[in-house]
Amino acid sequence: MEVNHMALARRAERLEVRTTSAQKHLIERAAELRGTSVTDFVVSNIQAAAAETVREFESLFLRDEAREVFVKTLLHPPEPNEALKAAATRHKQMER
């Protein structure tokens, strides 16, 4: 019980939602089946959904950013450095 008390003591913000009667009963039943309070059930599930949404958005954003870097590199390739020039020379020699 002490752990739950500490978790509740840290909660400083309030979030209110309106549901239909059917939604409320379903949530209450799910919380009961999990052996937890409605508040803990709702907060846990909303937090998990929020974290997943943020991960998905950040993943898509990073993919867009990577695609942009890739396209810019294709359109404006950098000049070959010495290592690349040496590799090309070795490759040409191997073809002979």
Residue-wise pLDDT for 19-64, tens only, equals 999 999 999 999 999 999 999 999 999 999 999 999 988 887 778 8
The answer to whether the CB of 27 falls within 8 A of the CB of 19 is yes
Instruction: Specify whether the CB–CB gap between 27 and 42 falls below 8 A.
Output: yes
- Report residue 1's pLDDT band, with 50, 70 and 90 as the boundaries: very low
Contact 31, 41 (CB under 8 A): yes
* Residue range 71-80: mean pLDDT, rounded: 89
> In the block, which residue shows the tokens 């052996």?
35
